[in-house]
């Protein structure tokens, strides 16, 4: 077991990965490898068994029909649930976050679908689609905080039940439902709206997921150039979110195609 590579598992890339979400898997894997820890990126497609010996599992964004298919397949397969029982970490974004909840809605008639039940949250169609840069403040279990920069794009609004706590507080953007909270945490399951390459912009969160899964503290990345590059990207995105004269024009776009 000790010599096995750490498995980072991207779940159903073709169904839930339409916003480049597997980038999160690339980031986690590379951040281990660069530190000299043997790691392997595993992409599982529907119809194939989800391995239950992974360290971190990732779910991404997808369309309505894909959400329904993913819930059906994941329940039938069972691998993800066994992995979580064994202590794995799940990081789910966007549509992947929604399906982790108790229920969510799909289609023009807002049909209610049962979710995976991993997070005590429910999602219903919101008054307007949330699209644009989002900036939140994430509080770690030890009380320290970091800014999370991302891009949200969701029509569903999520409310938290008593068993889940918010993942972050919204500084700019919509987040869960406009109530100032973003995402949800319950045990080792984290759900969050900013989709796709969210971890590239937020290396501290990436390392937190890895530390949670491995139960060890990771040192700083032994690659100063990449760290500097990431700092610059964060500086740019945070500045855009905070200093745009007109958020609606510069970073958010809510209309139909011209």
Partner 1 sequence: MASSPSQRFRHARPVDPTIGRKLWRNTAIGIGNLTAWASRKAGRGSGASIRGQVITRLYPMMFAELIAGRRIAAVSGTNGKTTTTHLLAAAAETAWGTRDVVTNADGANLREGIASALSQNVRAPVAILETDEQIVPDMITRGRPEVLVMLNFSRDQLDRHHEIASLGKKWRAALTDAGENGPTVVANIHDPLVTWSAEAARRVIWVDMGIGGWTADAALCPSCGAILEYDGDGSWNCPGCALGQHRADYAVRGDEVTGPDGARWTLDLQVPGRFNRGNATCALAAAIEMGIDPTVALAAMGTVRAPAGRFSIGRFGDNRARLLLAKNPAGWAESLLVMASDPVVLAIDSAIADGTDVSWLWDVEFERLAGRHVICTGPRAQDLAVRLSYAEVDHEVVDSLREAMARPYEGTVDVLATYTAFLNLCKMGGVEW
**Residues catalogued as catalytic:** 94, 195
CB of 232 to partner 1, least distance (A): 6
Question: According to CB under 8 A, which residues from 60 to 119 bind partner 1?
Answer: 63-66, 68-69, 73
The residue within the footprint of partner 1, chosen from 216, 217, 220, 225 (CB under 8 A), is 225
Longest C-alpha distance within the chain, in Å?
56
CB of 170 to partner 1, least distance (A): 18
CB of 70 to partner 1, least distance (A): 10
The residue within the footprint of partner 1, chosen from 195, 210, 213, 241 (CB under 8 A), is 195
Point out which span in 110-118, 163-171, 177-185, 231-239 binds partner 1 (CB under 8 A).
231-239
Point out which span in 26-34, 74-82, 111-119, 171-179 binds partner 1 (CB under 8 A).
26-34
Q: Which two tokens stand for residue 256?
A: 């139909």
R_g of the chain, CA atoms, integer Å: 17
Point out which span in 84-92, 147-155, 180-188, 207-215 binds partner 1 (CB under 8 A).
147-155
Instruction: Catalog residues that contact partner 1 under the rule CB under 8 A.
Output: 14-15, 17-23, 26-27, 30, 46-47, 63-66, 68-69, 73, 129, 131-133, 151, 153, 155, 195-197, 200-201, 225-226, 229-230, 232-233, 236, 251-253, 256-258
């Amino acid at each position: 077991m000790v010599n096995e590579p750490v498995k980072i598992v991207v779940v159903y890339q073709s169904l839930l990965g339409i916003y480049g979400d597997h980038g999160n898997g690339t980031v986690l894997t590379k951040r281990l490898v660069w530190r000299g820890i043997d790691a392997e990126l595993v992409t599982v497609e529907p119809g194939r068994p989800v391995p239950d010996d992974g360290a971190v599992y990732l779910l991404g964004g997808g369309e309505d029909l894909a959400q329904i298919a993913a819930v059906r397949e994941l329940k039938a397969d069972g691998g993800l649930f066994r992995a979580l029982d064994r202590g794995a970490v799940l990081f789910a974004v966007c549509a992947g976050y929604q399906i982790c909840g108790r229920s969510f809605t799909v289609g023009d008639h807002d049909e209610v679908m049962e979710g995976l039940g991993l997070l005590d949250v429910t999602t219903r169609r919101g008054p307007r689609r949330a699209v644009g840069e989002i900036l939140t403040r994430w509080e770690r279990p030890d009380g320290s905080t970091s800014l999370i920069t991302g891009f949200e794009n969701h029509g569903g609004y999520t409310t938290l039940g008593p068993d889940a706590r918010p993942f972050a507080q919204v500084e700019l953007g919509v987040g869960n439902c406009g109530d100032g909270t973003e995402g949800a945490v319950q045990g080792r399951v984290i759900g969050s709206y900013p989709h796709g390459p969210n971890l590239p912009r937020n290396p501290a969160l990436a390392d937190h997921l890895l530390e949670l899964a491995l139960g060890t503290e990771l040192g700083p990345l032994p690659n100063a150039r990449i760290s500097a590059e990431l700092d610059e990207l964060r500086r740019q995105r945070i500045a855009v979110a905070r200093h745009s004269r007109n958020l609606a024009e510069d970073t958010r776009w809510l209309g139909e195609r011209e």
